[in-house]
Amino acid sequence: MLDKLRTRLAHADALPLLALLGLFCGLVTGGVIVLFRIFIDSVQMGFLPGGDVENYEGLSAFWRFTLPALGGLFIGLLFQLAGGAPVGVVHVLERLAYFQGHLPLRNMLLQFVGGAMSIISGHSVGREGPSVHLGAASGSLLGQGLQLPNNSIRTLVACGTAAAIAASFNTPIAGVIFAMEVILMEYTIAGFAPVILAAVSATAVSRAAFGAAPAFIVPPMDMASLLELPYMLVMGIVIGTLAALFIGQLQRITLFGARFPIWQRMTLAGSFVGLCGVFVPAVMGIGYDTVNQAMLGELGLSFLLLVLAVKVLATTVGLGLGLPGGLIGPTLFIGACAGGALGIVAEYLFPGQVASPGFYAMLGMGAMMSATLQAPLAALMALLELTYNPHIILPGMLAVVLSDIIASHVFGRDSVFLVLLRARGLDYRSTPLAQALRRIGVASVMNTSLTTAPRILGRQAAQDLLIGEPLHVLVMEEGRPVSLLLAADLARHLAAHPDAEEVDLLEIPAQRDDIRPIDMQATLQQALDEMDEHGVDALYVTSGENIVGTLSRQGVEAHYR
């Protein structure tokens, strides 16, 4: 049954089976994320004043410096002992690009501990980066455990990602779009259904544990009039520029930090964040309390500008030097401060004619997230689900698209995750052809009409090979396949040489292809890459120790054409 399941899942249209797997993946991921959040919250409530998980401001100046510094040292030593195992969203993209979505359990466990300690220590990071890794790894390990084809494992990685975002922030729609827009970088019907079910089931698990309240509690707000739209264009330009500067700064610090041992750069990162926390405590931790105050219009212009500048520094230095946290949370914080400041300026320039600064803080969150991730739709949906304010949609669409255009086309910035991936000397191919080939496993295309034979065999043995009317003969030499020929060519040779007592399959007139192995879990993209790399036009497909089929270049090309 499992073999039939795997073969069925190799097809691009195995929607019912993928939907069931997506549903189960969401339940598993939801449980992992709930455990992750409970662990962090319980530790924070144990030592922060008043049991408030955001109250790093309540710590003394000594502890605001010492806690992040010691946390950076601990995390650095942990990662140094682990051999520098990569974690986070960039690691997920790397495994999708180069390992077909196979994520290791070891890195997942390291992300759980490292991400939790980074947040608990008050570093300027978010929890969505670790959550995405934990969710993607949950889906990947589920697929690996069932030995599913790689095209299905890629879908389960997307399911885990969507489930993680949905469970972390109570944002199921944003989770789905983030998975498709940022992680897979493609939209397909077959991909959407399982990813949606994963987000739904994970959100149900999260709401059972934490309730259904949105992340930010703010009153309903709307534009004062359509005349504000030109000013919102200005806001999109400003925040798009800020996002480009943020990405560039993060890239430079990442390249600079690569020359130092892991424990040194993480200790340095923790010490720098601690120094920032001494003078501006609001930059410590996830900072959603400050974001909520900005959306309520409770913060002044000078404070917003100060916190904005220090938060950019603390985040780029901390994450650039390798702290295992997320950057979406900090981008929401930075965007809220920038938007709130622009809202105060608008109120000063046009008194009584514009929306409250809190409304601009909301728009700033979405605009900054969009420009940083190059994911406008995910940012817009996150904004809607985080605030439960439908009035944000129209101006939000304007702000997120314009900021995205400014960052990407005026300043030439790609998504921050792709920038960080390239800083590691890697890249992510996402052409239409590559996307199409990744969705299909070789098991759905391979030809199973074959037989194996040694290079030299007698006439009777050669005739016996043809009884089952195979399409191909796989020629074996020294216990391994060396060539593939058409069985029809062997039959023609036997008919043309009725007196031949022995046949050399590598010498008879025939169409022969050099051949390489490919695992049955592989996708057509992997198969085509293998052919190109080794200059062959055919592969033999293996399942464990068994040879189960063959795949030709013509077969791959015929399939996608």
Burial of 283 (0-12, 13-18, 19+ CB in 10 A): buried
Minimal CA–CA distance to 21: which of 275, 282, 195?
A: 195
Using the predicted structure, report yes or no on whether residue 73 has a pLDDT greater than 90. yes
Q: Taking the domain 441-560, which CATH number applies?
A: 3.10.580.10
pLDDT at 225: 82
Q: Phi then psi for 287, rounded to 5 degrees?
A: 80, 20
* pTM of the shown model: 0.88
Neighbours of 397 (CB within 10 A): 14
Listed by start position, the domains of the chain span 2-215, 226-423, 441-560
pLDDT at 450: 86
Same fold, 2-215 and 226-423: yes
- Residues forming a β-bridge with 549: 541
Residue 373 to residue 362: CA distance in whole angstroms: 17
Instruction: Give long-range contacts, CB 8 A cutoff, 24+ apart: 44-50.
Output: 44/120
Q: Phi then psi for 503, rounded to 5 degrees?
A: -125, 130
Tell me, letter by letter, the H, E, C secondary structure of 196-259. Answer: HHHHHHHHHHHHHHHCCCCCCCCCCCCCCCHHHHHHHHHHHHHHHHHHHHHHHHHHHHHHHHCC
Residue 285 to residue 124: CA distance in whole angstroms: 5
Residue 281 to residue 284: CA distance in whole angstroms: 6
pLDDT band (50, 70, 90) for residue 137:
very high
Neighbours of 350 (CB within 10 A): 13
pLDDT at 330: 94
pLDDT tens readout for residues 30-46: 999 999 999 999 999 99
pLDDT at 484: 87
Minimal CA–CA distance to 136: which of 208, 197, 195, 200?
A: 195
Q: Please compute Rg for the chain using Cα positions.
A: 28
CATH of 226-423, one of 2.60.40.1480, 3.40.50.300, 3.40.50.20, 1.10.3080.10: 1.10.3080.10
- The token duo for 358 is 């809190």
pLDDT band (50, 70, 90) for residue 561:
low
Q: Phi then psi for 191, rounded to 5 degrees?
A: -80, -35
- Residues forming a β-bridge with 118: none
Above pLDDT 70, what percent of the chain?
98
pLDDT tens readout for residues 85-100: 899 999 999 998 888 8
Using the predicted structure, report yes or no on whether residue 112 has a pLDDT greater than 90. yes
pLDDT tens readout for residues 267-313: 999 999 999 999 999 999 988 889 989 988 899 999 999 999 999 99
pLDDT tens readout for residues 99-111: 888 999 999 999 9
pLDDT band (50, 70, 90) for residue 136:
very high
Residue 196 to residue 172: CA distance in whole angstroms: 8
367-388 burial code (b ≥16 CB/10 A, e <16): bbbbbbbbbbbbbbbbbbbbbe
Residues 6 or more apart in contact with residue 480 via CB below 8 angstroms: none
Residue 529 to residue 100: CA distance in whole angstroms: 12
Minimal CA–CA distance to 364: which of 212, 387, 488?
A: 387
Neighbours of 102 (CB within 10 A): 18
- The token duo for 508 is 């008879």
Q: Calculate the average pLDDT of the chain.
A: 89
CATH architecture of 2-215: Orthogonal Bundle (1.10)
pLDDT at 84: 80
β-pairing verdict for 480-486 and 502-504: unpaired
Residue 15 to residue 21: CA distance in whole angstroms: 10
Q: Are 445 and 544 in contact (CB under 8 A)?
A: no
Residue 102 to residue 259: CA distance in whole angstroms: 28
pLDDT tens readout for residues 365-403: 999 999 999 999 999 998 888 888 888 888 999 999 999
Residue 189 to residue 117: CA distance in whole angstroms: 38
Sheet with 450-454: strands ordered across: 450-454, 472-477, 480-486, 512-519, 538-543, 546-552
